[in-house]
Amino acid sequence: MNLNRKLSRCLLVAAGLLASVAAWAGLPNVVILATGGTIAGAGAEATNSATYQAAKVPVDKLIAGVPELAKVASVRGEQVFQIASESLANEQLLALAKRVAALSKQGDVDGIVVTHGTDTLEETAYFLNLVVHSDKPIVVVGSMRPGTAMSADGMLNLFNAVSVAASQDARGKGVLVAMNDELNSGRDVAKMINIKTEAFKSPWGPLGMVVEGKNYWFRLPAKRHTVNSEFDIDKIASLPLVEIAYGQGNANDTAYRAFADKGAKAIIHAGTGNGSVSNRVVPALRELRGKGVQIIRSSHVNAGGFVVRNAEQPDDKYDWIVAHDLNPQKARILAAVALTKTSDSKELQRIFWEY
């Protein structure tokens, strides 16, 4: 135990020295906000790539474990949370976004990295993309294997994320996700598989790649984000309750009614195919909409569900909203943010088209 404590102290001293050297060299200043997750996880054995405990390693140890960071940026860390991301709630989401926004306004901060568990990483990245008004690089990163595992991916992912956050050519591109050498838009990216390092993909392809610390860009995000967003985290004190109900072959209306009874302001229908709704569910959704609950049709198709308005269901007639190409969990994020400004269904549909 004493040896472990001494090693920890040495790592912290090393991290401080590396940051001092980087600052002296005039490198960009990058702040790492740590929230826990697999990238901060540890397993009992090196063969444990899927069996481990998340959110164990503090941010200073993460930084000290990648000494190469000092070559690309002057890095400092803040431990915002230390949790597995499936337990991250709206309250943490708001607190994190407010801290990112505050740091982005500081003249001595050039970029921000958020280390995050992968289970809800895509939701947090999209939320930051919607509510933080900054053109500075904001990069969300995680890992699919804990640092104790053979072929752990966290070190390189973190190096790439810091390298991107420190780069001028990443400015103005919205919140980015750096995983498996790819740079994806926080708006588009989703976790497609849970046991491979190439877990995160965008149905429309990555924005670019990172190769040996250099960014290569292929396309730009088309939807509104960050500095062009009408939403501002500094003006959001809380998020309304938005729930997701899953569509399937034997679906009934139980979940939808239960969510409404618990106070949901909107329900995302995670439908099959083109956001299809079972004929056993339609009457309940029409009834709930008549009571003021927003009904938003999304698709749970894994690699690019795309919901066309007035196809499958007469959305105009029922006053429902379609989520466009957003998966159910991202539709929940946008609905919650949008409802802080309006409850008009036409305005909400505009927002879903634009973001």
The string of pLDDT tens digits covering residues 240-265 is 999 999 999 999 999 999 999 999 99
Nearest by Cα to 243 from 273, 282, 270, 276? 270
Reported as a single tens digit per residue, the pLDDT across 50-79 is: 778 887 899 999 999 999 999 999 999 999
CA atoms within 13 A on the CB side of 321: 30
Residue 174 in domain: yes
Q: How many domains does the structure of the chain reveal? A: 2
Residue 5 in domain: no
Residue where one domain finishes, among candidates 180, 198, 228: 228
CA terminus-to-terminus distance, the chain: 51
Give catalytic status of residue 47 as yes or no.
no
Catalytic residue among 35, 115, 118, 197: 118
Considering the domain architecture, whether residues 77 and 224 belong to the same structural domain is answered as yes
Considering the domain architecture, whether residues 247 and 343 belong to the same structural domain is answered as yes
Residue 211 in domain: yes
Residue 234 in domain: no
Left (φ > 0), alpha (ψ -120 to 50) or beta: where does 312 sit?
A: left
Reported as a single tens digit per residue, the pLDDT across 277-332 is: 999 999 999 999 999 999 999 999 987 789 999 999 999 999 999 999 999 999 99
Phi, psi of 301, rounded to the nearest 5 degrees: -60, 130
Considering the domain architecture, whether residues 259 and 221 belong to the same structural domain is answered as no
The CATH number assigned to the domain holding 271 equals 3.40.50.40
Q: How many other C-beta atoms are found inside a 10 Å radius of the C-beta of residue 97?
A: 20
Residue 9 in domain: no
The radius of gyration of the chain from alpha carbons, rounded to an integer in Å, stands at 21
- Among 31-45, 92-106, 117-131, 271-285, which is the least confidently predicted range? 31-45
Q: How far is residue 308's CA from residue 169's CA, in Å, rounded to a whole number? A: 35
Considering the domain architecture, whether residues 65 and 200 belong to the same structural domain is answered as yes
Residue 213 in domain: yes
Nearest by Cα to 38 from 132, 169, 155, 205? 155
Considering the domain architecture, whether residues 200 and 61 belong to the same structural domain is answered as yes
User: What integer is the mean pLDDT of 116-142?
Assistant: 98
Q: Which two tokens stand for residue 319?
A: 């006053």
User: What integer is the mean pLDDT of 190-212?
Assistant: 96
Considering the domain architecture, whether residues 189 and 273 belong to the same structural domain is answered as no
Q: How far is residue 119's CA from residue 107's CA, in Å, rounded to a whole number? A: 32
CA 204 to chain centre: 17
> Would you call 330 exposed, middle or buried from its count of C-beta atoms within 10 A (0-12, 13-18, 19+)?
buried
Residue 2 in domain: no
Considering the domain architecture, whether residues 219 and 343 belong to the same structural domain is answered as no
Q: How far is residue 217's CA from residue 273's CA, in Å, rounded to a whole number? A: 32
Q: How far is residue 27's CA from residue 19's CA, in Å, rounded to a whole number? A: 10
Q: How far is residue 271's CA from residue 297's CA, in Å, rounded to a whole number? A: 7
The residue type at 136: K
The domain of 343 spans 240-354
Element (H or E) spanning 210, and its range?
strand 208-211
Q: How far is residue 129's CA from residue 135's CA, in Å, rounded to a whole number? A: 10
pTM: 0.91
205: Cβ–Cβ under 8 A, 6 or more apart, which residues? 218, 219
Considering the domain architecture, whether residues 213 and 248 belong to the same structural domain is answered as no
Phi, psi of 35, rounded to the nearest 5 degrees: -120, -5
Check if the beta carbon of residue 146 is closer than 8 Å to that of residue 41: yes
Q: Which two tokens stand for residue 221?
A: 């995000």
pLDDT category at 90 given cuts 50, 70, 90 is: very high
Considering the domain architecture, whether residues 41 and 82 belong to the same structural domain is answered as yes
pLDDT category at 3 given cuts 50, 70, 90 is: very low
Reported as a single tens digit per residue, the pLDDT across 152-190 is: 999 999 999 999 999 999 999 999 999 999 999 999 999
Q: How far is residue 22's CA from residue 29's CA, in Å, rounded to a whole number? A: 9
Considering the domain architecture, whether residues 191 and 150 belong to the same structural domain is answered as yes
Residue 306 in domain: yes
Nearest by Cα to 75 from 16, 157, 143? 16
Considering the domain architecture, whether residues 166 and 255 belong to the same structural domain is answered as no
Considering the domain architecture, whether residues 34 and 172 belong to the same structural domain is answered as yes
Q: How far is residue 129's CA from residue 75's CA, in Å, rounded to a whole number? A: 22
Q: Which two tokens stand for residue 269?
A: 């229908």
Give catalytic status of residue 38 as yes or no.
yes
Catalytic residue among 35, 38, 115, 197: 38
The CATH number assigned to the domain holding 196 equals 3.40.50.1170
Q: How far is residue 329's CA from residue 122's CA, in Å, rounded to a whole number? A: 9
